[in-house]
Amino acid sequence: GSIGVYAGNTAGGTAVHAEGNATQARDKGGFVKAMAYIDPFRLAAEYVVHCYNSQPGGNASSTAPCGITVTRTWDGIYTIDFGFKVENRFISLTPRGHYGDSAGGGNGLRTGIVSSVIGNKVTVAFSQRDDPETTSDTAFYIIVY
């Protein structure tokens, strides 16, 4: 029942530690507001594999889908709705995938861009690094600060 956040001040000690979920008002800086590992090779209802969302609170903040919905609009193009305003937040996007296999001979990396951030939603697109005109599916990490 007590406050579970403290600051450390010893050399090599903890700067900030939270016992349980750390939340922060959306308009404040510092903590991650939301993050997810998204795998579009699963069923649509299971796209959000691992996640954290500081806004819903309780178990909903760290139990997939964490109040996050993902819509695949085309090969490699996704809209992620975080359920809270993200348009004035910093977004970090990391593709997690290669294209091709040993049979097809492909070994290129995927690149990803944040194509729009409007209200609660972030739209991202992924393509093959050597063919940026062709979007293609890949798993990815997205973080909202």
Q: Summarize pLDDT for 27-58 with one digit per residue, the tens.
A: 776 778 999 999 999 999 999 999 999 888 77
- Whether 66 and 56 have beta carbons less than 8 Å apart is answered as yes
At 141, the amino acid letter reads Y
Any residues with CB less than 8 A from the CB of 98 and at least 6 apart, and which? 106, 107, 108, 109, 110
The residue type at 80: I
- Quote the CA–CA distance of 9 and 63 in Å, as a whole number: 33
Whole-angstrom CA distances from 144 to 1, 23, 53, 64, 79 are: 29, 13, 9, 16, 14
pLDDT band at residue 6, thresholds of 50, 70 and 90?
Answer: low
Would the pLDDT of 108 be above 50?
A: yes
Mean pLDDT of the chain: 83
**Exposure on the CB side of residue 121, measured as CA atoms within 13 A:** 12
* Mean pLDDT calculated for residue range 105-132: 85
**CB-based contact 67:82 (threshold 8 Å):** yes
pLDDT band at 109 (very low <50, low <70, confident <90, very high): confident
Q: What is the pLDDT of residues 63-92, one digit of tens each?
A: 999 999 999 999 999 999 999 999 989 999
Q: What single DSSP character describes residue 65? A: T
Confidence of residue 16 (pLDDT cuts 50, 70, 90): low
Which pLDDT band, with edges at 50, 70 and 90, does 102 fall under?
A: very low
